[in-house]
Amino acid sequence: MRVEIRYPQFSDEAAYFEAVTRSAEHIGRWNPVEPRALPDMVRRQGEALRTFMIFDTEDGGLVGTCNVSDIVRRRYQNAALGYNSYLPYNGTGRMTEGMRLVVDACFRPQRLGGLGLHRLEISVQPENGPSVAMAKRLGFRLEGYAQRMLYLRDQHGVEDWRDHERYALTAEEWPGAGAGDVS
């Protein structure tokens, strides 16, 4: 396995800052660039938010992050995924490997160290080809279109309410990759 996942820790602050700063132009076309966000991210971890950091097992570099947010329990067992890949790892397949581990962890029963979710959703600006491709590579199916869903930048850096395509996947549809417990 070329990557591993784990929850963020305060000690990851420097690695996160460096990865986000180095990748600002890459991620800033679609998402906010907040290189100093890690301490707040660690503090917000809880029932409604779990962040996974994806690290390269060879050099220890930060490949990307995935927020599992808006976690709703009881009869719904649903969450939204949002992700960023960082340079120089984009295009190497490592982010896809890491996201497979994240989806495994999301669908793994809680008694086995996972989040025990039943359904995951990804919302992506249609023009964000790499993120659309990621959703499709992971097996998420297009479910619909949400007009003016989030206030974000477009690929030209203009902020406005952005339309998104909505993708989803259920535990029954996921073949799994047999990931180990998340630390």
Read off the CATH number of the domain in which 10 is found: 3.40.630.30
Contact assessment for residue 122 and residue 106, using Cβ atoms and an 8 Å cutoff: no
Q: Are strands 119-124 and 78-85 parallel, antiparallel or unpaired?
A: parallel
Domain around 30 = 3-173
Does a structural domain hold residue 180?
Answer: no
Mean pLDDT value of segment 7-27 = 95
Listed in order, strand segments (DSSP E) in the chain are: 3-6, 49-56, 62-72, 78-85, 119-124, 141-153, 159-170
Average pLDDT over the chain reads 92
pTM above 0.85, yes or no: yes
Average the pLDDT over 154-166 and give the result. 84
For residues 7 and 161, what is the distance between their CA atoms, to the nearest angstrom?
30
pLDDT at 152: 82
**Is residue 52 within 8 Å of 9, Cβ to Cβ?**
no
Whether 183 is covered by a domain: the verdict is: no
Specify the number of domains making up the chain: 1
Q: What confidence score (pLDDT) does residue 155 get?
A: 65
With respect to residue 37, please indicate whether it lies within any of the assigned structural domains.
yes
The CA-atom distances, in angstroms, between 85 and each of 54, 118, 175 are 9, 25, 23
- Please check the confidence at residue 94 and state whether its pLDDT lies above 50: yes
In a domain, 182, yes or no: no
Average pLDDT, integer, range 102-130: 95
Answer whether residue 154 is part of any domain.
Answer: yes
Q: Does residue 179 belong to any structural domain of this protein?
A: no
Q: What is the pLDDT of residues 18-61, one digit of tens each?
A: 999 999 988 888 888 899 999 999 999 999 999 999 999 999 99
Give the C-alpha distances (Å, rounded to integers) separating 69 from 24, 79, 124.
22, 6, 15
pLDDT at 146: 95
By C-alpha distance, which of 54, 133, 66, 139 is closest to 94?
Answer: 54
CA dihedral sign of residues 23, 47, 79, 6 = positive
Structural contact between residues 62 and 86, judged by C-beta atoms closer than 8 angstroms: yes
Asked whether the CA dihedral 142, 175, 134, 7 is positive or negative, the reply is: positive
Measuring CA to CA, how many Å separate 16 from each of 8, 35, 118, 126? 9, 7, 30, 27
In a domain, 95, yes or no: yes
Question: Is residue 178 included in any domain, yes or no?
Answer: no
